[in-house]
Structure 1
Amino acid sequence: MRRLATAVLLTLAVAQPALALSCMRPDLVRDFEEAAADPAEWIVVSGALRFDPADLPPAPGETVTETGGGEIAARMEGMALSGEGFTIPFDREITLRLTCAGPWCGSVRPGAHLAFLKHEPPGYTMIVGACPGRVWPDPTPAMEAQLTACMQGDCPATD
């Protein structure tokens, strides 16, 4: 009986890594290239994301909903990317959509972000998934320069 219990525990311990979420390493240039290749319209904005964290949906397991995720209203204030850099004023309400992959859900905090926003009439949506990408906290001038180069047709090679 003791051997059976040990075997079951070992099997469960070995099986746990199979339940882990596997994400690609975040890559800003890859995010740009994917948005450019998508038939949907995307814009890139660097600025302040504002919303009430109390409005965020609960994580899976905190409610009876198994899927988790959800949408809330937010505001993005900053500059949108053009061929000359981040030169287009952007200040509007957006939809903040958190998505999940099984028990893992995207999360974001108010503050400075560089974000790829998808045009979904009548406005724009920031999609935050379980794996990082498309939303970059605390943007740097180097990140903005990379994306400006991409807009000018000189995107650095991705890893």
Structure 2
Amino acid sequence: MKIPHLTIAACFAASIASQASALLCMPPSLDQSFDLARDAEENYGIFVGSVDVSEEEVKQLSKDGMTSFETIAQFSGHSLFVDGLTPPFEREITVRVDCMGEWCGSASDIDDAVFFGKIEPSGAVEFMSTACGGDYYDASKENIAHLTDRIQE
């Protein structure tokens, strides 16, 4: 079966167009996320623990899968400071899911992770979830020790 040249050209053009519209993200790193939080104009804290969201609310808020939204979640864990982890605590937080075109972050339950949370002047805490990732990391002993060292720099 012979495929017409026009069909091949159309397939090639469609392939290039979809590649050009793909989201380009740098691979996230713990150090990059730390540096962004440290250098931001807003105040950020380092939180180590778990986040629980209402899956039903997330389904309602993210109907089209391409629109940014905020949802309330429950954080359980610790804050990380120069002298180590605080005693455990629980608090309500906001999870903000940002979208870049058709690519979005996500809001789901996450266990045993390190988060960089924006601390509002009111004391409210916001965790971001972006299309490019880098929003949370494994709460391994190595990651916590590395962040403790970075805080002390």
Q: TM-score range by the shorter chain?
A: 0.7 to 0.9
1:102 match: 101
Q: In structure 1, how many angstroms separate the alpha carbons of the residues matched to 2:87 and 2:45?
A: 11
Write the letter of the residue equivalent to 1:132.
G
Q: TM-score, normalised by structure 1?
A: 0.83
* Unpaired segments ≥5 residues, structure 2: none
Q: In structure 2, how many angstroms separate the alpha carbons of the residues matched to 1:115 and 1:38?
A: 15
SS of equivalent residue, structure 1 residue 132: coil
Write the letter of the residue equivalent to 2:131.
A
1:157 match: none
**1:88, CA displacement in angstroms?**
4.8
What are the within-5 Å matches in structure 2 for residues 10-159 of structure 1?
10-56=12-58, 57-58=61-62, 60=64, 67-112=66-111, 113-122=113-122, 123-136=124-137, 138-153=138-153
SS of equivalent residue, structure 1 residue 126: strand
* Unpaired segments ≥5 residues, structure 1: 62-66, 154-159
Q: TM-score, normalised by structure 2?
A: 0.86
SS of equivalent residue, structure 1 residue 68: coil
Provide, for residues 107-156 of structure 1, a one-character-per-residue CA deviation record: whole Å limited to 9, x for no partner. Answer: 142131211110124301001000111322x4211111111011111xxx
Q: In structure 1, how many angstroms separate the alpha carbons of the residues matched to 2:6 and 2:101?
A: 30
Q: Is the 8 A contact 1:45 1:90 kept in 2?
A: no
Number of residues of Structure 1 aligned to a counterpart in Structure 2: 147
CA RMSD of aligned residues (A): 1.9
Q: In structure 1, how many angstroms separate the alpha carbons of the residues matched to 2:41 and 2:24?
A: 26
Provide, for residues 24-65 of structure 1, a one-character-per-residue CA deviation record: whole Å limited to 9, x for no partner. Answer: 11110111111111111000100111111121122545xxxx
SS of equivalent residue, structure 2 residue 150: helix
